[in-house]
Amino acid sequence: MTRRLLPLLLPALLLVLGTTAQAQAAGYRYWSFWDRTGTHWTYATQGPATTRPDDGAVQGFRFAVSEDSANAEQPRLQAPDFAKICAGSPAVAGKKRVALVIDFGTDADAPAARTACATVAPDATTAAALATVAEPLRYNTAALLCAIAGYPEQGCADQVTAEKKTPAPHHGPSVGILAGATAVALLAAAAIWRSRRRPHD
């Protein structure tokens, strides 16, 4: 009897203990780049160094931790108005105006989000527009935008690991894991006890 139950109980114990491997998720901490399309933000298909926005365009940047572009955090300003953002920057002949939304991340650990209106040459890229209103910018050797207005001071698209938070801090295995392991152990003990009381097959 015991020999028959052990192959079933051991996988159950491994399954309980194996749940700890799912407590982490990898992501990247970086500036994502967005186009304002109609009434919503769209993840930009090109980088700011190659995008050449039209006069009157609204574009955004958001600093956050994201696993990939599919779940990247959008700028929190959900209704940016070009006319309002560029109200203090009158049109100039031979130039274009681009409204920029710069969201530095959560209020707890970053400067507040801000908007700016860049007046640049008609063929200027978004990167050039950004440089006129949010210096200093910092790039890495691969021309990846690492910092806007000096934020963050260090790092560039660094990989981070986000751990799932528990209701209360504790040391050692979680209560759920201990309870599951205990239940499996009790089942094994009961099987052994029963096998000793009954004749063996």
d(CA 52, CA 54): 7
Indicate whether 193 pLDDT > 90: no
Read off the pLDDT band of 62 (50, 70, 90).
very high
CB 41 within 8 A of CB 82: no
Strands 145-147 and 24-37: unpaired
- Kindly state the DSSP code that residue 13 receives in the 8-state scheme: H
pTM over 0.95: no
Indicate whether 138 pLDDT > 50: yes
Instruction: Give me the phi and psi of 73, to 5 degrees please.
Output: -75, 130
Indicate whether 78 pLDDT > 80: yes
What pLDDT was estimated at residue 102?
Answer: 97
User: Cα angle vertex 106, ends 100, 107, to 5°?
Assistant: 95
CA torsion 181-187-192-196 (nearest 10°) is 160
The chain-wide mean pLDDT, for the chain, equals 78
CA-based Rg of the chain, rounded to a whole angstrom?
28
Percentage of residues in the chain with pLDDT exceeding 90? 54
What pLDDT was estimated at residue 191?
Answer: 52
3-state secondary structure of 35: strand
What pLDDT was estimated at residue 174?
Answer: 43
Strands 96-103 and 145-147: unpaired
What pLDDT was estimated at residue 51?
Answer: 97
Indicate whether 31 pLDDT > 90: yes
What's the pLDDT tens digit per position in 97-110?
999 999 998 777 67
What pLDDT was estimated at residue 11?
Answer: 45
What pLDDT was estimated at residue 12?
Answer: 45
Helix, strand, coil share (%) of the chain residues, nearest 5: 30, 30, 45
